[in-house]
């Protein structure tokens, strides 16, 4: 089963025995839970579209291990073309779902591990890469979705992992056994966690020798004994419990995040990919982060949906011919395509690492993500500008359906005679969804902090630009001859 479809994916999730909590209660049926279900639909789309001839070229790749066709989310990049197709796939899926489709994080974790495990082996004579490739083949063969889990709670930010008052603020080893290790800790903000078959753990920061118990990477089935998921809230989330669906904005898709707690969980040795090689923790973090910063091409896809919705509402309002509206739409497109440029550029300028895996240009990947921390906010601002205040003062769908007051909404919230009041309301709800509702988690705040907060990219940019060379040329052209 190397390429599941949406139905098969859903059925595969039903077999997992997750320990999931939400609103203080255990979720007995994760797949059908109305709050979680739209996020499952979004991941399911990554399976379904792999079977569509018109998307297959981006959605699938050829495994370098087996030669079989696999979902690109399970693929290790074998060329810069693969890297570019990854960027394009992100844009495509964002533009089809209008939300976070959650599956890129596992792909990025596996690509980073394909390099770091190889490099550890070269230095220490270990067999992590062999283990990892065996695991990768298992993932590809089953077409699993993997949650790539990096962010620890981190506790007191001024202290290293080993200095924390509570040692569990970073995932760590608590016991070493003959057949594996026992780990404890937590991972925050885990996108798509309960839609995943596997969870891949990575350290969250560079480490020193004193932190070696924290320098661990491993993979487990997502429903392994001792793992607990506590679902994150999203703005407007309980609208999904209401009778009507219009006020959700996005009728089909969504995303989710969770706090994942590991309470003394056993990991067999064959699933361990880094064990106390503390000097490689920073490399794994950087490689994962760079890939993940490339992955934010998805936001250009969500931007496509938001721009489409904004143009629609301008037309529904009868304002589409106003010059400032046209110009704002142009600005939204300009910003959106600039986001895409960064992702395509870092992929096109990628290179082959000693492991054979192709890796993005890290400077450009950081520039890409830095833009993502800003431009979606401006695009959202322009969307709200054009949409008008009605987006946040609109009565509910139940009011529209009400025999008593529905007629007033129908009458007073109609704009263009060519468009029904309901359709106008639907479009406003979609804009609301992306700019301040459940999808704003992915489009805005995740754009800010996902794959590292803005300052993390600025540090990487400052490290990688060649300022001395720029100074040298400036001096030469200006006639400065003294080298101070």
Partner 1 sequence: MSKKLRIGLKYCGGCTPRYDRVQAVGYLRERLKDRIELVSYEDPDVEGVLVIAGCPTACVDLAPFKGRPVWVVTSPGDAEGFVAAMTRTGDEPEPGDGM
CA separation, residue 93 to residues 56, 66, 199, 328 (Å): 12, 26, 22, 25
Please confirm, yes or no, whether 446 is among the known catalytic residues: yes
* End-to-end Cα distance, the chain: 65
> Contact with partner 1 (CB under 8 A): which of 5, 12, 65, 81?
81
Of 64 and 424, the one with the shorter C-beta distance to partner 1 is 64
DSSP code of 234? -
Main-chain phi, psi angles of 440, to 5 degrees: -70, -25
Q: Least distance from C-beta 336 to partner 1, angstroms?
A: 10
Concatenating the DSSP letter of every residue in 334-368 gives HHHHHHHHHHHHHHHT-EE-TTS-EE--HHHHHHH
Active-site residue among 10, 198, 257, 432? 257
Distance CA 233, CA 205 (A): 26
191: annotated active-site residue? yes
Name the residue among 197, 182, 188 with its Cα closest to residue 40.
197
Number of residues interacting with partner 1: please give it, by CB under 8 A.
17
Q: Does 127 bind partner 1 (CB under 8 A)?
A: no
Q: According to the binding rule CB under 8 A, does residue 389 interact with partner 1? A: no
To partner 1, the closest distance from the beta carbon of 289 in angstroms equals 23
Smallest distance, partner 1 to C-beta of residue 58, A: 3
Catalytic residue selected from 48, 77, 97, 104? 104
Parallel/antiparallel/unpaired status of strands 198-201 and 146-149: parallel
Phi, then psi, of 187 in degrees rounded to 5? -125, 130
Q: Which stretch binds partner 1 (CB under 8 A): 88-96, 257-265, 313-321, 386-394?
A: 88-96
Among 37, 75, 91, 424, binds partner 1 (CB under 8 A): 91
Candidates 99, 100, 146, 368; catalytic one: 100
What whole-number distance in Å separates Cα of residue 234 and Cα of residue 319? 32
- Least distance (Å) between residue 370 CB and partner 1: 22
Give me the sign of the Cα torsion angle 45, 1, 14, 226.
negative
Say if residues 390 and 428 touch (Cβ distance below 8 Å).
yes
In angstroms, give the least distance from the CB of 188 to partner 1. Answer: 31
Active site residue 298: yes
Cα–Cα distance between 47 and 410 in angstroms, integer? 40
Q: Which stretch binds partner 1 (CB under 8 A): 34-42, 91-99, 264-272, 391-399?
A: 91-99
Tell whether residue 86 is a contact of partner 1 (CB under 8 A).
no
Q: Could you give the angle at which helices 323-348 and 281-294 cross, rounded to 10 degrees?
A: 140
| 88 contacts partner 1 (rule: CB under 8 A) | yes
Site mask for partner 1 (CB under 8 A), range 338-357, x = bound: --x-----------------
Q: Show the binding pattern over residues 315-334: x = contacts partner 1 (CB under 8 A), - = does not.
A: --------------------
| Cβ at position 382, least distance to partner 1 in Å | 20
Q: Phi and psi of 256, rounded to 5°?
A: -155, 160
Q: Which residues contact partner 1 (rule: CB under 8 A)?
A: 53-59, 81, 84-85, 88-89, 91-92, 95, 304, 340
- So which residues are the catalytic ones? 100, 104, 191, 257, 292, 296, 298, 446
């Amino acid at each position: 089963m190397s390429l599941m479809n949406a139905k098969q994916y859903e059925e595969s999730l039903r077999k997992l025995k997750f320990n999931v909590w939400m609103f203080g209660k255990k979720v007995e049926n994760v797949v059908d839970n109305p709050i979680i279900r739209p996020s499952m639909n979004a991941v399911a789309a990554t399976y379904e579209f792999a079977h569509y001839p018109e998307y297959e070229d981006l959605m699938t790749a050829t495994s370098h291990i087996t030669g079989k066709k696999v979902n690109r989310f399970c693929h290790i990049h074998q060329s810069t073309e693969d890297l570019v197709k990854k960027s394009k796939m992100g844009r495509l899926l964002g533009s089809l779902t209008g939300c976070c489709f959650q599956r890129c994080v596992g792909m990025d974790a596996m690509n980073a591990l394909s390099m770091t495990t190889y490099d550890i082996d070269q230095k220490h004579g270990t067999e992590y890469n062999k283990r990892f490739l065996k695991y990768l083949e298992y993932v590809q063969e089953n077409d699993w979705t993997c949650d790539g889990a990096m962010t620890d709670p981190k506790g007191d930010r001024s202290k290293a992992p080993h200095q924390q008052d509570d040692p569990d603020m970073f995932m760590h080893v608590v016991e070493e056994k003959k057949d594996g290790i026992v780990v404890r800790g937590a991972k925050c903000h885990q996108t798509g966690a309960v839609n995943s078959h596997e969870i891949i753990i990575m350290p969250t920061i560079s480490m020193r020798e004193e932190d070696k118990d924290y320098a661990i990477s491993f993979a487990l089935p997502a429903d392994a004994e001792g793992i607990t998921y506590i679902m994150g809230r999203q703005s407007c989330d309980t609208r999904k419990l209401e009778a009507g669906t219009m006020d959700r904005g996005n009728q089909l898709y969504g995303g989710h995040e969770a706090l994942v707690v590991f309470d003394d969980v056993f990991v067999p040795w064959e699933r361990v990919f880094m064990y106390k090689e503390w000097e490689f923790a920073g490399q794994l973090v950087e490689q994962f982060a760079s890939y993940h910063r490339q992955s934010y091409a998805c936001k250009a896809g969500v931007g496509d949906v938001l721009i489409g919705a904004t143009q629609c509402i301008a037309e529904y309002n009868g304002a589409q011919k106003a010059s400032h509206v046209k110009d704002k739409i142009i600005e939204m497109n300009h910003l959106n395509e600039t986001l895409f440029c960064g992702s395509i550029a870092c992929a096109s300028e990628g290179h082959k690492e000693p492991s054979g895996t192709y890796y993005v240009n890290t400077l450009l990947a950081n520039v890409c993500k830095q833009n993502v921390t800003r431009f979606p906010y401006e695009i959202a601002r322009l969307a709200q500008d054009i949409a008008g205040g009605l987006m946040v003062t609109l009565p509910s769908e139940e009011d529209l359906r009400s025999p008593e007051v529905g007629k007033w909404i129908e009458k007073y919230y109609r704009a263009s005679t060519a468009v029904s009041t309901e359709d106008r309301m639907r479009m406003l709800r979609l804009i609301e969804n992306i700019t301040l509702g459940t999808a704003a988690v992915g489009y805005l705040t995740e754009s800010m902090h996902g794959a590292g907060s803005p300052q993390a990219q600025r540090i990487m940019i400052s490290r990688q630009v060649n300022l001395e060379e720029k100074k040298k040329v400036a001096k030469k052209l200006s006639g400065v001859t003294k080298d101070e």
